[in-house]
Amino acid sequence: MRGLTLIPPNTNIRFIDRRMIFLWASALFIAASVILFAFRGLNYGIDFTGGILIEVRVPGGADLGRMRGQLSALGLGEVGLQEFGAPDDVLVRVQRQKGGEEAQQRAIDAVKTVLGPNVDYRRTEFVGPKVSRELFWSGVTAVGFALLAILVYIWFRFEYQFGICAVIALAHDVLSTIGVFSMIGFEFNLSTVAAILTIAGYSINDTVVVFDRVRENLRKFKTMPLAELLNKSVNDTLSRTLMTSLTTLLALFSLYFLGGEVIRGFSFAMIWGVLVGTYSSVCIAVPLLLYMGIHKRPSERAEGAKGAEANAEDPPQVP
């Protein structure tokens, strides 16, 4: 009994022949993302802009929709609510108010007035601009170190040419995600940074699978033109790539539509990341190998040279 087959075994889609379309389209998209980020910026969340954090316990469970409507009517700017550990524990986030500590205290008093006296206020904190800046740069550093670690891993796993192509594809994924968030105005917070790091891990997993098939085919088909070999490698792994992406998207779409407002931004970032990560693994990372000089592996050249020397040293045998 045969299982589900998304891609027929003898599929030969000419990805490499269309590489200039993919590369130019990605370059234009990245340029647009950089321009959007430079002129429009991101809708930073409280984690990066600072604000007020209030943890409350609501007897009998919290009606987040009603509480969100009441707090939004106060005109305090961005207000976020999140269940915290249990259905009756709620984390309230209010953006930092203009002014000093007195402005923050007035906002806290307004929130407490709306929520009423029956609520147990377990914790009240203010995230200042210094802490928010530290969180921002910690997020940037985490992404940077992740890309560097991936470069080193691919370098040792394959060769440095593969590592450079993988990091370029990952940078494409990260920048395009930032561009999309800048364009649609979704909140960019620490959970989005976590999504970007998850995207990097997912994308590099896809890329390593294809690269491993490229390395295998380089050893197997030593006379095959490189463009044809790369195209064969992509088609060989295409069914696995699509199956993994589709099953992941099924779970992510469920989170996006059913998971509520709290994780919607994270879910959207992951959905976009899976789509663009699959695209970059197939259409960016592999075609770039054409320009990295991997026509012949050094180990194979060395083995060929040793074999030629051994043949030259062997004296001719007389029958």
> Quick one: 28 exposed, middle or buried, by C-beta within 10 A (0-12, 13-18, 19+)?
exposed
| Encoded tokens for 254 | 């469920």
Closest residue by Cα to residue 263 from 81, 96, 55: 81
Same domain for 87 and 230, yes or no, is no
Does residue 187 share a domain with residue 101?
Answer: no
Same structural domain, 152 and 236: yes
Token pair 């040792």 is at which residue?
A: 156
pLDDT, tens digit, for every residue of 170-215? 889 989 999 999 998 888 887 888 888 888 888 888 888 888 888 8
- The C-alpha torsion from 66 through 67 and 72 to 76, rounded to 10°, is 170
**146 is a domain residue:** yes
How far apart are alpha carbons 299 and 297 in whole angstroms? 5
Provide the 10 A C-beta neighbour count for residue 37.
16
Domain with 257, as residue range(s), is: 16-41+132-299
Question: For position 250, what pLDDT does the model report?
Answer: 92
Residue 4: helix, strand or coil by DSSP?
coil
Taking the C-alpha atoms of residue 247 and residue 187, their distance in angstroms, rounded to an integer, is 26
Name every residue whose Cβ is closer than 8 Å to that of residue 86 and which is 6 or more positions away in sequence: none
Asked if residue 222 is part of any domain, the answer here is: yes
Q: CB of 188 within 8 A of CB of 48?
A: yes
pLDDT at position 71 is 82
Same-domain pairing of 269 and 149: yes
141-174 pLDDT, tens digit each: 887 887 788 778 777 777 888 888 888 888 899 8
* 74 shares its domain with 139: no
Please report, for the domain that includes residue 89, its CATH number.
Answer: 3.30.70.3400
CATH number for the domain spanning 165: value is: 1.20.1640.10
Structurally, the chain folds into a number of domains equal to 2
* Per-residue model confidence as pLDDT tens for the chain (319 residues): 455 566 667 777 888 899 999 999 999 999 999 999 999 888 877 777 778 888 888 887 777 878 888 888 888 877 877 776 667 788 888 877 777 777 878 888 888 888 887 888 888 877 766 666 777 778 778 878 877 887 787 777 778 888 888 888 888 998 999 999 999 888 888 788 888 888 888 888 888 888 888 888 888 888 888 889 999 999 988 888 888 889 999 999 988 888 766 678 889 999 999 999 999 988 999 999 888 877 555 444 444 444 444 444 444 444 4
Q: Are residues 180 and 196 located together in one domain of the fold?
A: yes
Residue ranges with strand state E in 174-239: 187-188
